[in-house]
Chains A and B, each alone.
Chain A
Amino acid sequence: DIQMTQSPSTLSASVGDRVTITCRASQTISTWLAWYQQKPGKAPKLLIYKASSLESGVPSRFSGSGSGTEFTLTISSLQPEDFATYYCQHYNSYPYTFGQGTKLEIK
């Protein structure tokens, strides 16, 4: 299986900050990567697919980049509703796997 490793596990930031979360794959996955946001008690929500494509309805302050084995999710100016847990997921081959998550906390 392809292992996905996110860093950091926890990130403390303030409203208005620019933050970046990193996701590394144990082998190359081209750009077959998605990012999800999950709030407590809710299902994950798709933010980014194909590493850098923004899902319809997702604010433009979210962006993704990368290819191969290293990827980033950037939030350009944090809003109060962005404090949540973020997961990356590859869909290069089955079984799909997710990163362990990055919890974005209010500083």
Chain B
Amino acid sequence: QVRLQESGPGLVKPSQTLSLTCTVSGGSISRGGYFWSWIRQHPGKGLEWIGYIYDSGSTYYNPSLKSRGTISLDTSKNQFSLKLSSVTAADTAFYYCAREGGHSYLDIWGQGTMVTVSS
């Protein structure tokens, strides 16, 4: 059974870079056929899809991030990561990692991690 688990600092200062990692267990991240995604949810609000990385390393980001996002893959650790630069209070949110079956729905989600941007 594939499981995803997010990790990273819960507090980031404004203008710095938010860094989160998603560890995949129960299956290989490089098995192929899956897109590994990040989604966020502002407190009490709806869901915003951030972007994905495919096992080939190809990525796509939501234009709403204004080129601040980078998603990378570490197959040796069975992990993928999100970096979001130049953060502001508007980036305070719950961040989820999830598995997508390739131009498809998000079938497995991590439990989520809260990141607060504050000085």
The interface of chain A, by Cβ under 8 A from chain B, is: 34, 36, 42-46, 49-50, 55, 87, 89, 91, 94-101
Residues of A within 8 A of B96 (CB): 43-44
Residues of B within 8 A of A44 (CB): 47, 96, 106, 109
Q: What is the 8 Å Cβ interface bit string for chain B, positions 12-55, against chain A (1 contact, 0 not)?
A: 00000000000000000000000000000000001111000000
Q: Are B49 and A43 in contact (CB under 8 A)?
A: no
Q: Are A89 and B47 in contact (CB under 8 A)?
A: yes
How many residues in B have their beta carbons less than 8 Å from beta carbons of A? 19
Q: Are A99 and B46 in contact (CB under 8 A)?
A: yes
Q: Which residue of B lies closest to A50 (CB)?
A: B105
Q: Are A34 and B105 in contact (CB under 8 A)?
A: yes
Chain B, 80-119, CB within 8 A of any chain A CB:
96, 100, 103-107, 109-112
Q: Are A87 and B47 in contact (CB under 8 A)?
A: yes
Q: Are B49 and A95 in contact (CB under 8 A)?
A: yes
Interchain CA distance A6-B78 in the complex, whole Å: 36
Q: Are B112 and A49 in contact (CB under 8 A)?
A: no
User: What is the distance, in angstroms, from B36's C-beta to the closest C-beta of chain A?
Assistant: 14
Interchain CA distance A46-B105 in the complex, whole Å: 8
Q: Are B106 and A46 in contact (CB under 8 A)?
A: yes
The answer to whether B64 has its CB under 8 Å from any CB of chain A is yes
Q: Are A43 and B109 in contact (CB under 8 A)?
A: yes
Residues of B within 8 A of A50 (CB): 105
User: What is the distance, in angstroms, from A41's C-beta to the closest C-beta of chain B?
Assistant: 9
User: What is the distance, in angstroms, from A75's C-beta to the closest C-beta of chain B?
Assistant: 19
